[in-house]
Amino acid sequence: MNKKTKFAGSFYPEQSENLNKLIDSYKENRPIFFKSKAVIVPHAGYVYSGHAAVAGFQYLEQNENIFIIAPSHQEHFNNIAMPDYSYFETPLGNLEVNNKLIEEISRNFPSIIANEIFENEHSIEIQLPFIQNFFCPHLQSASDFMKNLKNIGKKFKIIPILTGICDYRIISDIISKYWENSSFIVSSDLSHYYNQIQCRQIDTYTATIIETGKLDFLENYQACGIVGIKGLVDFANKNNLSLIRAEMYNSGDISNDKEKVVGYGSWFVSPISKNEYIKTYLSDYTINVVKEAIYSILYEQEYIPRNIPSILTQYGASFVTLNLNNELRGCIGSIYPTKPLIIDLIDNARNAAFQDSRFSPITKEEFENIEISISLLSSIERIYFKDEKDLLSKIYPHGIIITERDKRAVYLPVVWEKLPDKEIFLNSLKEKAGLSPNYFSKTLEAFKFDSICINSFSQA
């Protein structure tokens, strides 16, 4: 028995040509550096969430099994539900269900097999045309054809899973068990029916939790597919993987309704951290942002970054260091992520060039020879210690922050190159904070962080 389409003509176009054309219209000519085995994508009407969905799907890797993990909006049940349909139909054709694998899952995980639960549910069906458009392409450019040669004749089957009242660890365990030869689509919108300002606040908070893996802070009100999201985040945490943002906005950005909006976001799983990803793939872009931010002030021009990669809209903390003739010429940064990283980079670049109290503002002549170093900071972690000897044993090779009441100082990890001795490093940091080198007290606090550096002089 096949699952008939239910939402063609409402959530998305009914005619195959129009459907493919609409999906294709959301594709942007941006470089995709690698394919991911798991994504989070929204499931609203295509006119609203299609752009965010495509932003996530463009990273998805094709494998022989494609899991679609989505919330049940219409039916109530415990744990997970799966169907025994042979195919799911869409205007673009049929997608075969891996019934053998569904039977195996049902034997090993708390679940039910019930077609009726899927009958009026849109959160699975909405994803199917995207899968077909990307993995069964109707029309390809020559370059896309060459990229997809390895997938010609490669068959895949889908495993639709709806979550009810469910422990997210069931999803995490399913992902773990079938990770090797599968791809995973976690289907979820973000906040529902707040005004646009509230929606942005809630979704920004949700995105930060997803991207930092702080699983305990994810709540039901933040996303309808919270079980699937928590399952994927839990799996990523256990396997040292990162979730990187591909897109995020809300329905108010599309329509004129700013009072009751729905949030949409997409993420992909990466084997490297956000900061490593930026260094690996976006070093030139970030260095150019810093240069343009300074240049625009020097020459009194407006600067608005173009084609901003979504990863740079994630909150982040950075330092911008300027050197001239191998001498420090300015250094300003942020310890905590309080704004989108691209804004943080622009602000710190301008402050390092023109607001560092240790130096006069840089000139146009100096700018021609300035060397730029960007440090992207990890999250801050407190160091617990019994005495100064214990503290000294825990500071290398990290960036270190010390605080003593109203006094504070920070050294980036790169400072170890100039101050390799732990005691000299710490004493110098105390002096920077306005303390004596031999100062120590029970109220002194220390924190550590790591950073990844991007240097203009290493850009080829």
Looking at residue 353, which CATH number applies to its domain?
A: 3.30.700.20
pLDDT recorded at residue 30: 79
Q: Which residues contact 150 (CB under 8 A, 6 or more apart)?
A: none
- Domain closes at, from 342, 377, 412: 377
How many C-beta neighbours within 10 Å does residue 79 have?
A: 15
pTM confidence score:
0.87
* Domain span holding position 353: 276-377
d(CA 458, CA 101): 49
Domains identified in the chain, total number: 3
With respect to residue 458, please indicate whether it lies within any of the assigned structural domains. Answer: no
**Pair 90, 125: CB distance under 8 Å:** yes
Query: Which among 14, 3, 149, 141 has a CA at the least distance from the CA of 68?
Result: 3
Query: Which among 229, 114, 251, 94 has a CA at the least distance from the CA of 166?
Result: 229
Tens-binned pLDDT, residue by residue, of the chain (460 aa): 899 999 999 999 999 999 999 999 999 887 888 899 999 999 999 999 999 999 999 999 999 999 999 999 999 999 999 999 999 999 999 999 999 999 999 999 999 999 999 999 999 999 999 999 999 865 444 455 445 555 555 689 999 999 999 999 999 999 999 999 999 999 999 999 999 999 999 999 999 999 999 999 999 999 999 999 999 999 999 999 999 999 999 999 999 899 999 999 999 999 999 999 999 999 999 999 999 999 999 999 999 998 899 999 999 999 999 999 999 999 999 999 999 999 999 999 999 999 999 999 999 999 999 999 999 999 999 999 999 999 999 999 999 999 999 999 999 999 999 999 999 999 999 999 999 999 999 999 999 999 999 998 654 4
State whether 350 and 392 are in the same domain. no
Q: Terminal CA-to-CA distance of the chain, rounded, Å?
A: 58
Q: Hey, what are 3's tokens? A: 């699952």
Q: How far is CA 353 from the centre of its chain?
A: 30
State whether 424 and 401 are in the same domain. yes
Q: Hey, what are 107's tokens? A: 């034997």
> CA-based angle 291:293:294, to the nearest 5?
70
d(CA 319, CA 332): 6
State whether 331 and 371 are in the same domain. yes
Amino acid at site 283? S
**Pair 245, 207: CB distance under 8 Å:** yes
For residues 237, 242, 247 and 251, what is the CA-based torsion angle, rounded to 10 degrees? Answer: 10
pLDDT recorded at residue 150: 53
Amino acid at site 4? K
Amino acid at site 31? P
Q: How far is CA 230 from the centre of its chain?
A: 14
State whether 204 and 255 are in the same domain. yes
State whether 265 and 295 are in the same domain. no
Amino acid at site 266? S
Amino acid at site 71? P
State whether 134 and 218 are in the same domain. yes
